[in-house]
Chains A and B, each alone.
Chain A
Amino acid sequence: NAGVMQNPRHLVRRRGQEARLRCSPMKGHSHVYWYRQLPEEGLKFMVYLQKENIIDESGMPKERFSAEFPKEGPSILRIQQVVRGDSAAYFCASSPPGRDSDTQYFGPGTRLTVL
């Protein structure tokens, strides 16, 4: 059973461009979470999604950031008009339904560098 997949692993963007980060959860997992790890800071929650629904977006910046988890395909974290402060590692996690739903399994992350 493949783990959580994220791509790209590394992404370089110039200021003002758009960044699209993709996350495919583990097979059978229906919950997806996005976290951000800024340099010298800890991991911070951004958003929690289930298929076609945003459940909790309390950690998302109010502007430029959006997330989706469509019925088919991976979850996408989209950052419009990137700025240098968006440079960070972005991690996706997934959890299964049912008994083990309290446990989140993490992907390898996408490291975004904004020039």
Chain B
Amino acid sequence: AQSVTQLGSHVSVSEGALVLLRCNYSSSVPPYLFWYVQYPNQGLQLLLKYTTGATLVKGINGFEAEFKKSETSFHLTKPSAHMSDAAEYFCAVIKAAGNKLTFGGGTRVLVKP
């Protein structure tokens, strides 16, 4: 069985500061990994994904994540937070294409001016 753990249900950052959201997973097979963002009362938007190849993945809105197999982690970062980054972020894992996504509990990001 797969599981995803996101450390910290709430994160507060100052505008212009580094955003770091942590995600660890457990999976019996090498998974595909995703980060989604959810703005209030909206659906989920794909930020980035890792399937194979380069372990540092760049996504939209200046976000990137690094897959570290030895640490079973897929942390999300952005060098400089913007007010528009205030949202809830979900890490998710899938065993293979055509499978269900297993989500972490989500991290709500608050950006302070």
Check if B45 sits within 8 Å of A48, measured CB to CB.
no
Q: Which residues of A have CB within 8 Å of B96? A: 102
Decide yes or no: A108 and B43 within 8 Å by CB, A42-B106, A102-B51 being known contacts: yes
Residue of B43, B49, B100 near A59 (CB, 8 A) is: B100
Check if B101 sits within 8 Å of A33, measured CB to CB.
yes
Say yes or no: is A101 at the interface (Cβ < 8 Å to chain B): yes
Q: Number of A-B pairs whose CB atoms are under 8 Å?
A: 58
Say yes or no: is B36 at the interface (Cβ < 8 Å to chain A): yes
**Majority DSSP secondary structure for residues of A touching B:** strand
Q: Give residues of chain B (80-100) contacting chain A, Cβ–Cβ below 8 Å.
A: 90, 94, 96-100
Give the residue among B32, B49, B99 with the most A Cβ atoms within 10 A.
Answer: B99
Say yes or no: is A69 at the interface (Cβ < 8 Å to chain B): no
- B49's nearest neighbour on chain A, judged by CB, is A103
Say yes or no: is B44 at the interface (Cβ < 8 Å to chain A): yes
Residue of A44, A48, A102 near B49 (CB, 8 A) is: A102
Check if B32 sits within 8 Å of A43, measured CB to CB.
no
- The CA of A55 and the CA of B100, in the complex, are separated in Å by 10
Say yes or no: is A25 at the interface (Cβ < 8 Å to chain B): no
Would you give the shortest CB distance from B6 to chain A, in whole angstroms? Answer: 9
Show the binding face of B for A, using Cβ within 8 Å: 32, 34, 36, 41-46, 49, 51, 90, 94, 96-106
